[in-house]
A = this chain, B = another copy of it.
């Protein structure tokens, strides 16, 4: 098997260490140490730590835009919503260092702030579209997709569940399944028909 190229190995190690220890607490020297390469070798591929962060943010952004920018749902049921949230939350868990220090990251890098804000706005759009698709299929009361505080709550919980869990249960693995249930709980009172039962079944499966 061909050996993974050095830049990718550096990115993988940086991502893992940022996620584990928080980006502010990991130096490029420590990453080089971990990989048993020289700091010079690392800096040949990534000039500064910010270059590393920017590249990882770009990877994260590509995955998120791939999910959020797909064809809009025409009709959707609870399983579609559930799967969609799960894919989003796995991406967030894979790049959780971004969410851990989000405000600091956005405060010192205007470009990342602008791009992250675009992701948040697209997320609000996707949340509204998904609710509308549930409404069209008769699974959700009409109007939920235009309820602004509900849409904001969905995206807020979707964005900060991982920080919240880290403060409450430090060192534990992220739980995208529980987070998906939490987000769907915002919507569940508006569900109707078979969707309500479908939600109860999913929620029961993810209860501790």
**CB of A120 within 8 A of chain B?**
yes
Please report the C-alpha to C-alpha distance between residue A131 and residue B182 in the assembled complex, in whole angstroms: 18
Interface residues on A, range: 35 or more
Verify B116–A167 contact, CB threshold 8 A.
Answer: yes
Contacts of A22 in B (CB 8 A): 103-104, 107
Interface residues of A in 105-159 (CB under 8 A from B): 106-108, 113, 116-117, 120-121, 147, 149-150, 152-153, 155-157, 159
Verify B150–A185 contact, CB threshold 8 A.
Answer: yes
**CB of A25 within 8 A of chain B?**
yes
Contacts of A163 in B (CB 8 A): 102-103, 160, 163
The answer to whether A156 and B167 touch (CB under 8 A), given A149-B181, A149-B185, is no
Contacts of A120 in B (CB 8 A): 167-168
Please report the C-alpha to C-alpha distance between residue A25 and residue B24 in the assembled complex, in whole angstroms: 13
Smallest Cβ distance from A184 to chain B, in angstroms?
Answer: 8
Please report the C-alpha to C-alpha distance between residue A109 and residue B113 in the assembled complex, in whole angstroms: 27
Please report the C-alpha to C-alpha distance between residue A147 and residue B160 in the assembled complex, in whole angstroms: 20
Please report the C-alpha to C-alpha distance between residue A113 and residue B203 in the assembled complex, in whole angstroms: 30
Contacts of A121 in B (CB 8 A): 168
Verify B153–A182 contact, CB threshold 8 A.
Answer: yes
The answer to whether A149 and B101 touch (CB under 8 A), given A113-B170, A156-B160, A190-B189, is no
